[in-house]
Amino acid sequence: MDSTAAPKQRLGIGMVGYAFMGAVHSQGWRTAARVFDLPSEPHLAAVCGRDPRAVRAAADKLGWASAETDWRQLIARDDVDLVDICTPGDSHADIAIAALDAGKHVLCEKPLANTVAEAEAMAEAAARNPGSIAMVGFNYRRVPALALARALIEVGRLGALRHIRLTYLQDWLVDPDFPLTWRLKRESAGSGALGDLGAHIVDLAQYLVGEPLAGVAALSETFVTERPVPAAAPAPATTRGVERGPVTVDDASLFIGRFPSGALASFEATRFAHGRKNALRLEVNGELGSLAFDLERLNELQFFDGTVPAPEAGFRRILVTEPDHPYLDGWWPPGHSLGYEHTFVHQARDLVHAVATGVQPAPSFADGLQVQQVLAAIEESASKDSVYVTVTPTAATTN
């Protein structure tokens, strides 16, 4: 490196929330400029949380220069150019709108909001502040194998698409005595497996197909309707006699959909699949071939070329670690695997470039609103015995 080169301009990052998502976002911001040649240097200026002692400890652990306990103070800081929102969905709209109206760039975790009305207000705030970049954190778009799948579909290797099927299975709620956390309350989470997992696979389906869903039909179920209310003190060895509260979100959601092109889609999202820790799987079938992907083998893409003579045909494994594969130019020699956390490094890279160029990135807040409309249509269908519900397209989506 040329030691005489002028130092790069800093891009000050302020993050609200520091739990699981905050930790992986911090990893992304810390690492991006050390792997990729970025137009500006992300500076972890401040992290925000309500508990002064806990947020200070998080700042020290995750690499943030300072800590705040009021997100409004975080937004007001002169050294914060971009606000990264990693809080439960019930606060997304307030923080994002205030940040955009203050002239800040915004990254907001998925789903964009808890309701369509909130998502609409956020998309409107992004539209009236065109100088600010606003992006939704659908990180699985940044898996190199899935970015490669999108590229293969775009250049026509599968021909016209016929089917796409996606499942996202986890098992962390199978214990009926798992406590009643914020993710199990509609007022804080918006929905259950649908918003937590279903939002990801809706976005991925539309990203890969390259068009929004036209309509859906759905079923949903809450298998455990009451759970222990967490106590301030450590939980007792037995849950007998412990206060229980209502679960107000879905535990599982199944739905089908149709794209304007005529391609059909099926989806399953659940947190009740014993043995499945983070099993996001998908398959795309077209007139000329198929693609298949499993997040638990995220460096691999399976490709079936239907134009090959039958005696030679079969799914072949593409190890997505070559330097000319998406995002791989900054990483290790071929064959050296990447992991989940790298998607957040790629997300940070793409967002820093978007800020530097002034070009709104995908997925935009308009894209996030469109996913929210699909989620609302799924809930409406499930509440009406699986009636087919049309999804009204949102203008200015980027896919």
pLDDT in tens, 347-390: 999 999 999 999 999 999 999 999 999 999 999 999 999 999 99
Over residues 213-239, the pLDDT tens digits come to: 999 999 999 999 999 999 764 444 445
Could you give the angle at the alpha carbon of 193 between the alpha carbons of 189 and 197, nearest 5°? 100
Is the model's pLDDT at 6 over the cut of 90? Answer: no
* Residue whose C-alpha is closest to residue 94's, from 122, 126, 123, 133: 122
Among the candidates 93, 123, 140, a domain finishes at: 140
pLDDT at 392: 85
Among the candidates 110, 140, 170, a domain finishes at: 140
* Helical residues (DSSP H) of 183-341, grouped into ranges: 186-189, 193, 199-209
Total domains present in the chain: 2
User: Two tokens at 61?
Assistant: 């652990």
Q: What is the C-alpha to C-alpha distance for residues 12 and 77, in angstroms, rounded to an integer?
A: 10
Over residues 312-340, the pLDDT tens digits come to: 999 999 999 999 999 999 999 999 999 99
Q: What is the C-alpha to C-alpha distance for residues 269 and 273, in angstroms, rounded to an integer?
A: 10
Q: What is the CATH number of the domain that holds 128?
A: 3.40.50.720
Give 7's pLDDT tier (boundaries 50, 70, 90).
confident
Is the model's pLDDT at 4 over the cut of 70? Answer: no
Residue 4 lies in a domain: no
* Helical residues (DSSP H) of 134-263, grouped into ranges: 144-154, 186-189, 193, 199-209
pLDDT at 398: 67
* Residue whose C-alpha is closest to residue 186's, from 234, 251, 241, 239: 251
Residues 157 and 125 in one domain: no
Q: In percent, how much of the chain has pLDDT > 70?
A: 95
pLDDT at 1: 45
Residues 303 and 266 in one domain: yes
Residues 189 and 312 in one domain: yes
Q: What is the C-alpha to C-alpha distance for residues 204 and 34, in angstroms, rounded to an integer?
A: 28
Mean pLDDT in residue range 1-10: 68
Residues 228 and 325 in one domain: yes
Q: Give the up-direction half-sphere exposure of residue 30: CA atoms within 13 A in the CB hemisphere.
A: 14
Q: What is the C-alpha to C-alpha distance for residues 155 and 347, in angstroms, rounded to an integer?
A: 23
Q: What is the CATH number of the domain that holds 270?
A: 3.30.360.10
Residue 131 lies in a domain: yes
Residues 183 and 266 in one domain: yes
Residues 64 and 202 in one domain: no
Residues 152 and 298 in one domain: yes
Mean pLDDT, all residues of the chain:
95
Mean pLDDT in residue range 243-259: 97
Q: Which residue has the tokens 């290797």?
A: 157
Mean pLDDT in residue range 236-246: 68
Is the model's pLDDT at 290 over the cut of 50? Answer: yes
Q: Residue 264: exposed, middle, or buried by beta-carbon count in 10 A (0-12, 13-18, 19+)?
A: middle
Q: What is the C-alpha to C-alpha distance for residues 70 and 79, in angstroms, rounded to an integer?
A: 16
Residues 88 and 30 in one domain: yes
Q: What is the C-alpha to C-alpha distance for residues 343 and 146, in angstroms, rounded to an integer?
A: 11
Residues 14 and 92 in one domain: yes
Q: Is 211 helix (H, G, I), strand (E, B) or coil?
A: coil
- Give the residue with greater pLDDT, 350 vs 7: 350
**Domain span at residue 213?**
141-339+360-390
Residues 147 and 47 in one domain: no
Residues 278 and 304 in one domain: yes
Mean pLDDT in residue range 8-14: 95
Among the candidates 105, 140, 175, a domain finishes at: 140
Cβ burial 191-204 (10 Å sphere, 16+ → b, else e)? bbbbbbbbbbbbbb
Residues 185 and 314 in one domain: yes
Q: Picking from 47-51, 237-241, 344-348, which range would have the lowest pLDDT averaged per residue?
A: 237-241
Q: What is the C-alpha to C-alpha distance for residues 351 and 388, in angstroms, rounded to an integer?
A: 36
